[in-house]
């Protein structure tokens, strides 16, 4: 088969990954290797229709067959397990189910500049989430998986001695703040996000039985385009700005800046850490701009360091440093710019 033909069938492999992730194949195989018939019975699917999917995945190096012809996990499939320390199961579902469906509208996105997902579903990502609670849950968990390595790096390199309160703008299910508050018992945190997101996140946290974290971490429904809670020592915003064009990004950052300025005169100066892709600090992946064509607001593009500095300046902020983070993100530390007389 020619290289072009193999690449043309690549989408079929992606769809098969989505099937395996959604069915929980890796979770079942974590118990023991299974024949196709045994696996199909465990998953309550048909053996004859499951086998082509499994064969495609093993051909791509995802899962393997042992000497008895039974399917097993391998190094590549292990992160599809729900309880794997670096699990990517929900990310795989999000990318290879919801976003994959949107790729059918990619040519229209190229022609019009409208996000492919909006063209496919007739609404934006968050409106889709409101109508599909199960996919909304998967989105929350996918962002948790995406956040995990970033939180560990922030803990390692950011000093929290002079910080007592943190606001995470668009913080989803609170994974970043759970990591930070878990390591620093003196911290309190607030996640600001959509009402439906906050409702799911608060219920999930309550269900853990972690009374200390329940008491120190709150979820506050809000709109980052109108107002951000004031009074925090540290504001963070991760994986948000890249979904919006420059005008929208300046609006969001200006609201954070206004919240930072709304404090007593003798209060410590607050900080903002933006965690977002910056062209000079990513690994050069060609896929990130493609993702923007699928879900990004019209006019969204790759941000350079110059773009970030221009947008933060317009919002009344001053960049102090830019440092690389895992997952092709950069940490942009900011303080309030001096007030203009």
Share of the chain above pLDDT 90, in %: 70
| pLDDT at residue 110 tops 60 | yes
CA-based nearest residue to 74, from 13, 14, 17, 33: 33
How long, in residues, is the chain? 341
CA 103-242-179 angle, to 5 degrees, is 105
Task: Quickly state the pLDDT bin for 50 (edges 50, 70, 90).
Answer: very high
Calculate mean pLDDT across residues 113-122.
92
Taken in order of first residue, the domains within the chain and their CATH numbers are: 3-87 (1.10.10.10), 143-336 (3.40.50.150)
Cα-Cα-Cα-Cα torsion 144, 149, 150, 153, nearest 10 degrees, comes to 150
Residue 291 has pLDDT above 60, yes or no: yes
d(CA 253, CA 240): 11
pTM: 0.83
In angstroms and rounded to an integer, the radius of gyration of the C-alpha atoms of the chain is 22
Mean of the per-residue pLDDT values of the chain:
91
Above 90 in pLDDT, residue 54? yes
Q: 179-223, pLDDT tens digit by residue?
A: 999 999 999 999 999 998 999 999 999 999 999 999 999 999 999
């Amino acid at each position: 088969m020619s290289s072009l033909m193999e690449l043309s069938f690549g989408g079929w492999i992606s769809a098969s990954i989505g099937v395996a992730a959604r069915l929980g194949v890796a979770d079942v195989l974590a118990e023991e290797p299974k024949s196709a018939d045994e696996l199909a019975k465990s998953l309550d699917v048909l053996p004859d229709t499951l086998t082509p999917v499994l064969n495609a995945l093993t051909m791509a190096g995802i899962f393997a067959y042992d000497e008895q012809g039974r399917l097993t996990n391998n190094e590549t499939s292990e992160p599809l397990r729900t309880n794997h320390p670096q699990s990517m199961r929900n990310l795989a579902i999000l990318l290879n189910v919801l976003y994959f469906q949107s790729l059918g509208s990619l040519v229209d996105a190229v022609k019009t500049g409208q996000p492919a997902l909006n063209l496919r579903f007739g609404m934006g990502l968050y409106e889709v989430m409101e109508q599909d609670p199960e996919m909304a849950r998967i989105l929350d968990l996918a962002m948790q998986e995406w956040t995990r390595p970033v939180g560990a790096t922030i803990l390692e390199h950011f000093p929290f001695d002079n910080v007592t309160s943190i606001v995470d703008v668009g913080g989803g299910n609170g994974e970043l703040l759970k990591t930070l508050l878990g390591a620093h018992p003196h911290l309190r945190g607030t996640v600001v996000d959509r009402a439906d997101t906050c409702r799911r996140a608060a219920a999930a946290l309550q269900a853990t039985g972690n009374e200390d974290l329940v008491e120190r971490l709150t979820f506050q429904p809000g709109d980052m385009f109108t107002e951000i809670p004031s009074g925090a020592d540290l504001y963070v915003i991760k994986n948000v700005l890249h979904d919006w064009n420059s005008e929208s990004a300046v609006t969001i950052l200006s609201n954070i800046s206004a919240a930072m300025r709304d404090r007593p005169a003798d209060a410590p100066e607050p900080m903002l850490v933006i965690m977002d892709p910056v062209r000079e600090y990513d690994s050069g992946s060609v896929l990130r701009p493609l993702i923007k064509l699928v879900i990004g607001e019209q006019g969204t593009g790759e941000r350079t360091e110059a773009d970030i500095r221009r947008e933060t300046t317009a919002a009344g902020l001053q960049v102090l440093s830019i440092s690389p983070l895992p997952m092709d993100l950069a940490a942009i530390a900011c303080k309030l710019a001096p007030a203009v007389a």
